[in-house]
Structure formats: structure tokens, C-alpha cells
Amino acid sequence: MLAKAQEQPADELVIDLEDAVVPDGKEAARATVIAAIRDGSWGQRSIVVRVNPLATEWGRRDVEEVVAGAGEALGGLVVPKVESPGELEELDSLLDETEERAGREPVGLQALIETAAGLVRAAEIARASARLEALIIGFADLAASLGRSSGTDYPGDRWHWVRETVLVAARSEGLQAIDGPHLDVRDLEGLAVEAGRARALGLDGKWALHPGQIEPINAAFSPAQAEVDRAGAIIDALAGSEGRGAVSLDGEMIDEASRKLAAQVLARGQAAGLEPAPPEG
């Protein structure tokens, strides 16, 4: 699986030492992961490892050994079940010591919000560490924490408030907000719906559990060529506005807020290999 992961068209690969590994396999899995990251061909994509919580018997060794041994290909750590700022502050201190001993560059952190306590403190968690890059929704554990069934008979989007809460907490500190995985890997239609909802709310991406989920997720979070062209036209119109704060483009009034939104579309388009059409004339 680690070898196949190197071929997948994902922006980031998350290697899991937590829930995906049984207790008796933790030590061997850690060594395997370190070797795979150090010796693999990962290209330009981000490589992160989901470690076990520091409160467990494996967490501290996960952090120390992975950070020291995986090499510079390691971009960061995913921290599971974060429920308070203090957990990230403790991890921050451990990372400072580990990186100094290993003589390596600092690694980033991503926090999984997957319990009721973590959800309530999402804004505090977002401020807890300068290393923090993203908040991620963990649907499976969060459903268990909330006592929420896996059925789909709820008359609406039962995760809407959760997504909004994590998004606002992340954006307040300039972090990415990442949607959790669609657990039924065979249900690509449902995946497309969920990914579309997350993108419509403003989230930056969605976790995939299976290679077959990557393409639908990339499609949901990549703008259409027409969106990229429109964003390019907005940027060009405002750049040529001769100092005016707002101008009209095809009957629509655009201003600095329009420019910011257009810049975001262009950045997502560039990530998807799309460039705006050149201006006419």
C-alpha cells in the first residue's frame, strides 16, 4: 500500500500509525513507515503521518522516531482526537526538542477534530500552535462521540454545522479546513455529493480512503475552466481600473472583495493545471 501510494494523484498522502494499526503492530508499523518515507519516491506531494496521541504508550515514540528518522520528505504530523490547546502545546515542546537533536527543519501540524470536546474548542485549538496548518474533520469518531447513527435518513445535511464550525475556526487563524472522508468507498455518487457540499461551504479539500475516491474529490475541488477564465477577467479588470476601487465587468460591479475571491479561484485552478484564457483584443 505504501508503494502504491507513491503513484496516486493526491495533493497529500497521510500515512496512519493510529487507528489503521492494531496495538501489537505499532512498533513494526512505525519502523516500516520511517523507512518508506526516507527511501520512497514521493515527488512534490506533501507526506504526513498520523501519530498516536501523546497520552498513549506509543505517541511520544511515534513523534520522536518519525521526526528524527523519516528525513526531510516528512512534511508534518496529523494529531488525532485533539480536544484542547494544551495537547498541541505539549506536542510543540516535544517537537522543538526532537528537531534540535535531529538537526532537521521544523515540521507542521494538522489537528483532527473528531470529538464533541474538540468541536467545542475548535477555535482555541486553531490558535494553539504556530506549527498548525489545518483543521480536519474526523467523521467516524465524531459520530461516535455525538451518538450519531450512520444512517442517511436525516432530513438535511447532518454535518453542515460541523463543517461551518471547523471552517470558521480554521479561517480565523489562516488555516486550511479539510473535510473528513466518505466512509463508503463504493459510493462514488454519495462521495461527489459530500465533496460538493464541502467545496460549496468553502473547505479546501477532503480526505480519501481509497484510490478510487481521489478523482471525484479532485473534480469537486477543482474549478471549471469558465470559473478560471472569469477570475482572470476580474483580476485584469481591476488591475486596469486606473485607481478606481470598483468597476463594472459584464454588468456586474466588482471590487477588492471580488479580487480576493478571484485570486482563490486562480490558485485552485493553477493547482489543477488550469490557466485563464488570455484577454481579448
CATH label of the domain that carries residue 9: 3.20.20.60
Are 200 and 235 in the same domain?
Answer: no
* Rg value, the chain, Cα: 21
> Does residue 154 lie in a domain region?
yes
pLDDT band at 81 (very low <50, low <70, confident <90, very high): very high
Are 93 and 118 in the same domain?
Answer: yes
Query: Residues 232-259: what's their mean pLDDT?
Result: 83
pTM value? 0.89
pLDDT band at 150 (very low <50, low <70, confident <90, very high): low
User: In the predicted model, is pLDDT for residue 96 greater than 60?
Assistant: yes
> Does residue 277 lie in a domain region?
no
User: In the predicted model, is pLDDT for residue 267 greater than 70?
Assistant: yes
Q: What SS3 class is residue 260?
A: helix
> So what's the pLDDT on residue 151?
62
Are 175 and 231 in the same domain?
Answer: no
User: In the predicted model, is pLDDT for residue 152 greater than 80?
Assistant: no
Are 140 and 239 in the same domain?
Answer: no
Query: Residues 13-37: what's their mean pLDDT?
Result: 96
Query: Residues 30-47: what's their mean pLDDT?
Result: 90
Are 116 and 154 in the same domain?
Answer: yes
Query: Residues 249-254: what's their mean pLDDT?
Result: 85
Domain boundaries, position 263: 225-271
Other beta carbons within 10 Å of 77: 24
Alpha-carbon distance values, 173 to 29, 110, 224, 258 (Å): 34, 13, 28, 21
> So what's the pLDDT on residue 121?
98
Query: Residues 78-101: what's their mean pLDDT?
Result: 97
For residue 53, give the nearest of 25, 88, 24, 27 by alpha carbon: 88
> So what's the pLDDT on residue 49?
98
Are 151 and 49 in the same domain?
Answer: yes
